Amino acid sequence: MDYAIEADKLTKYYGDFLAVDHIEFKVKRGEIFGFLGPNGAGKTTTIRMLTGVSTPTDGNASIMGYDIVKQSVDAKAVMGIVPDISNVYDELSAWDNLIFTGKLYGVSKKKLEEKAEEMLKRFALYDRRREKVKGFSRGMKRKICIAMALVNDSEVLFLDEPTSGLDVESVREIRQMVKTLNEDGLTVFLTTHNLEEANQMCDRIAIINRGKITAIDTPENLRQIMRNVQSVEISFKEASKNMAEELQQLRSVSSVEKRGDKYRIFTDEPPLVLKEVWDYAEKHGLAPVSINTLGPSLEDVFVKLTGREVEEEVMRGGRGMAENIGRREMR
């Protein structure tokens, strides 16, 4: 069994609304697999189906070989879940939260107590184990939630927006912890709308938009496709009316957008654009107020990946992009 997770035409309708549209993907054992998409793209619905919280309308999926509908109890026994909201029991102590979860997974008393102690020490919460979770910070609750997902020695860990809304230190701790767990052999399915997080952590990334998977590949291969959505943002003390058109004429510029008092210049060669814009400013006697080089934002990436432009690039053989490109769109 090479794959920890297999989704085959997985589909979810809410009434007439198609939330997840016949998606297919496979996650290898020991992989960190990122699932990216904007809000409402179908990430959480997919994770809810894979974890047994919601029943698929059509299609099927398996976790470590167990069918999520026909063998749901066995499938759920090998997974841990950290949902997008830290669903801990506020009325229980940190310790009792872990013990309750371990019991739900049938972990023996001795092993459970050892594991709970190990987890709480790992997250530096052991000293506060007897306190009710109600008084914990958002980051601490998140850590408890992750500890609860790991208390059963799960083989597959589902993380739904694990670092959303956390402070920088907590984010770094959680990312490091996930990496360490992965090194120990844990398969991780990570949903996020943070491109940088996915880039740092994932072996492969799937991008979902409007319920369809538009791309699956390694972060580096995806970045190659996204290279020309890098941009330079510049503002001048005084700007002429037709500046956008003039900037558009520069050799290394793909496109220009006026955003408030700034011009966003899209390019696949930011250093060259900087030089050309500098020459342009000198020639017209313009004084730059600010200049920033920007990587592809998630918004840019999605515009690209769901737009006709990139589909055409992909159709032309865009760097091994399509293990699973939204098939209907491809046609």
Partner 1 sequence: MSKVSKWDELQRAWIIAVKDVRIYYLRPVAIMFGILFPFTLFLSFTVGRDIPLDKLAPMLLAQTVFWASSSIGPVSIPMERRVRTFDRYLSAPLSLVSVLLGKTIAGMLYGLAISTLALLLGMFAFGTTITNVFALILGVGLASLEFSAMGIMFASIPTENPGDVMMPMNFVRIPLLFISGLYIPISQLPAVGQAAAFLSPLTHTLDLIKYGLGGSSYFGVPANSAMLTLYTLLFIGVGISFHKKIMKMQ
- Site residues for partner 1 per CB under 8 A: 14-15, 48, 51-55, 57, 72-74, 76-79, 81, 83, 85, 87-92, 100-101, 103-106, 155
| Shorter beta-carbon distance to partner 1: residue 136 or 263 | 136
Taking the complex as a whole, the smallest distance from the CB of residue 127 to partner 1 amounts, in Å, to: 23
Taking the complex as a whole, the smallest distance from the CB of residue 155 to partner 1 amounts, in Å, to: 8
| Shorter beta-carbon distance to partner 1: residue 78 or 325 | 78
| Shorter beta-carbon distance to partner 1: residue 55 or 137 | 55
Report the C-alpha gap between 152 and 81 in whole angstroms.
Answer: 11
- For residue 45 the two structure tokens come to 């619905």
| Shorter beta-carbon distance to partner 1: residue 49 or 277 | 49
| Shorter beta-carbon distance to partner 1: residue 188 or 253 | 188
- At 42, the amino acid letter reads G
Q: What is the DSSP string of 76-126?
A: HHTEEEE-SS----TTSBHHHHHHHHHHHTT--HHHHHHHHHHHHHHTT-G
Taking the complex as a whole, the smallest distance from the CB of residue 50 to partner 1 amounts, in Å, to: 9
User: What are the residues whose beta carbons fall under 8 Å from the beta carbon of 265, sequence distance 6 or more?
Assistant: 231, 232, 233, 234, 247, 250, 253, 255, 256, 273, 277
Taking the complex as a whole, the smallest distance from the CB of residue 37 to partner 1 amounts, in Å, to: 19
- For residue 174 the two structure tokens come to 């959680």
| Shorter beta-carbon distance to partner 1: residue 160 or 173 | 160
Output helix, strand, coil percentages for the chain, rounded to the nearest 5: 40, 30, 30
Report the C-alpha gap between 218 and 321 in whole angstroms.
Answer: 9
Taking the complex as a whole, the smallest distance from the CB of residue 64 to partner 1 amounts, in Å, to: 8
| Shorter beta-carbon distance to partner 1: residue 45 or 192 | 45
Taking the complex as a whole, the smallest distance from the CB of residue 327 to partner 1 amounts, in Å, to: 26
State the alpha helices, DSSP H only, in the chain: 43-50, 72-77, 94-104, 109-122, 138-150, 168-183, 195-201, 219-226, 243-248, 270-284, 298-306, 308-315, 327-330
Report the C-alpha gap between 46 and 265 in whole angstroms.
Answer: 36
Taking the complex as a whole, the smallest distance from the CB of residue 310 to partner 1 amounts, in Å, to: 33
Kindly list the strands in the beta sheet with 230-236, ordered across the sheet, starting from the edge strand earlier in the chain. Answer: 255-259, 262-267, 230-236, 288-294
